[in-house]
Amino acid sequence: MFFLPLTNICVLLVCGQVVKQNRIVGGADASLNAWPWQASLQYQGKHVCGATLINSELILTAAHCFPKNAVLSNYQANLGNYQLLNPDPNAVWRRLSQVAVHENYTGDGSSGDIALAQLEQPVHFTQGILPACLPDAKTQFPKGSLCWVTGWGSPTYGANLGGLKTLQQVQLPLIDTMTCDDLFHIGTNISPTTREIQDDMFCAGYAEGKKDACLGDSGGPLVCQADGAWFVAGIVSWGDLCGLSNRPGVYTRVSFYQDWIQSHFSGVQFGLMNVTGKGNMEEPPYSSHIELSSTFLDSIWLALL
């Protein structure tokens, strides 16, 4: 255990931990409280993207979830919910106070599909609301690693998630960048020398397709477990429809953006860990309080209108 004194109070620091461990392989309903960092990013009261809680005041999501014509005051984050149409009594909704969209993002399929949003008020951690760990810049999850994607997205392309809109989960293997890039060239006229999958991306899924993230999962987490903790390794970014053969889902590589994430805050720990080596993770921290740096305030903010 690792304790950090804050104004004479010792706070237990932990990230990537869950109470519920039941999981179903193959794309199905998740278990209650199985993924406590999962957030629903909503616009005008409707779910538009997933997001990941990384400490009590910040969520991580995709840049494409904040189009240029969007109004920040119309956004809210819903945490601690399992069924969107059957809200949990302990679920919370928070407006967003500020959003930083990566400056390299230019549109669908581009690099830089990552964004940070600050909640207007911090959340209190419960069994259903806990942060995921962030991998550090050196972290590499090996190809073939089985990780999990969660969200309230479409079960298939063009179909809506029905019923009470229960959180979905699917387990997918990681695919190395160059193998995935080769897959995305199959059946196209794109030059083999033109890269579709950039260094800040990776893929997960199967060459034969079928299991995949889909519309509405965008911005949500792909998490991998290492040394007893769950790390948000990827952000659901883009794909060619959903579940097609030779077109696995593409994810923003979170570890690639460690410096960008850290540069926006002063003296904050997010549970950054290097999990490339073996051994137990002895100090999995999160920060229960943050202070915004001037760099963060000077970044590309969506204007609060």
Q: Which one of the listed residues 40, 47, 56, 64 is annotated catalytic?
A: 64
Which of 152, 116, 81, 156 minimizes the C-alpha distance to 264? 116
Known catalytic membership, residue 47:
no
∠ at Cα 292 (287, 295), nearest 5°? 125
CA diameter of the chain? 63
Candidates 47, 56, 102, 113; catalytic one: 113
Active site residue 64: yes
Q: Looking at 56, 111, 218, 237, which residue is catalytic?
A: 218
CA distance between the termini of the chain: 43
Please give the full DSSP string across 286-302, using - where no structure is assigned.
--S---B-HHHHTS-BP
Would you state the structure tokens that stand for residue 53, as one six-digit string?
């809680």
The CB density around residue 45, as the number of other CB atoms within 10 Å, is 9
The Cα–Cα gap between 128 and 92 comes to 10
What phi-psi label fits residue 205: left (phi over 0), alpha (psi between -120 and 50 degrees) or beta?
left
Distances in Å between the alpha carbon of 58 and those of 66, 119, 171, 194, 255?
16, 6, 25, 36, 17
Report the catalytic residues: 64, 113, 218
